[in-house]
């Protein structure tokens, strides 16, 4: 009997621990939570239609976590789909720390520490240089663009 109670206790302890951790980790991946937080901050353009929103990865800047969100919006009523994309860096409270414009030719791929690696090249605010690696500092507010051969990208650790 004590044998069964001991294993039951271990099972319940493990179950509640995993549930608590999953709830905390799931909060950043919950699309509805992210959408509501961004909508409350008026991130979305009311003249465009949101067609894509994804949590790409999470930057680690000075031991703090910053989710990276990729959004694409299309112009409502356009004959041919056209619109804009943005890369958003959020803090742990889902407040926007940095908003970067990108066109359809560049897309965020994954994060490694404080760097965001892109498919394609991007420039910040139309200023040179353009590149495919964004290095963030100052709680995600400061970004430096650099170029790297995509074959030289660091290995992606799974899961991101």
Give the tokens for residue 17: 């621990």
pLDDT at 26 over 70: no
- The full set of domain ranges for the chain reads 31-152
pLDDT value of position 28: 55
Decide if pLDDT at 45 tops 70. yes
**For the chain, first and last CA: distance in Å?**
43
Q: Pick the range with the lowest mean pLDDT from 18-22, 98-102, 111-115, 127-131.
A: 18-22
What pLDDT is recorded for position 12? 45
Determine the pLDDT at residue 97: 96
- Considering only residues 19 and 103, tell me which one the structure prediction assigns the higher pLDDT: 103
- pLDDT band for 78, please (50, 70, 90 cuts): confident
What b/e sequence results for 125-146 when a residue is b if at least 16 CB atoms lie within 10 Å of its CB, and e otherwise? eeeeeebbbbbbeeebeebebe
- Per-residue pLDDT, 27: 53
Q: Rounded to two decimals, what is the model's pTM?
A: 0.76
């Amino acid at each position: 009997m004590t044998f069964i109670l001991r294993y039951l206790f271990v099972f319940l302890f493990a179950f509640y621990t995993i549930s608590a951790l999953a709830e905390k980790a799931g909060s950043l991946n919950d699309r509805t939570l992210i959408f509501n937080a961004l909508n409350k901050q008026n991130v979305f353009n009311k003249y465009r239609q949101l067609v894509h929103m994804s949590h790409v990865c999470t930057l680690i800047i000075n031991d703090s976590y910053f989710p990276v969100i990729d959004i694409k919006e299309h112009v409502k009523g356009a004959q041919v789909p056209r619109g804009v994309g943005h890369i958003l860096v959020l803090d742990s409270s889902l407040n926007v720390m940095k908003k970067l414009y990108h066109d359809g030719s560049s897309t965020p791929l994954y994060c490694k520490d404080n760097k965001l690696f892109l498919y394609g090249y991007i420039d910040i605010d139309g200023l040179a240089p353009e590149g495919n690696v964004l290095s963030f500092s100052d709680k995600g507010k400061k970004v430096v663009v650099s170029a790297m051969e995509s074959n030289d990208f660091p290995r992606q650790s799974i899961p991101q």
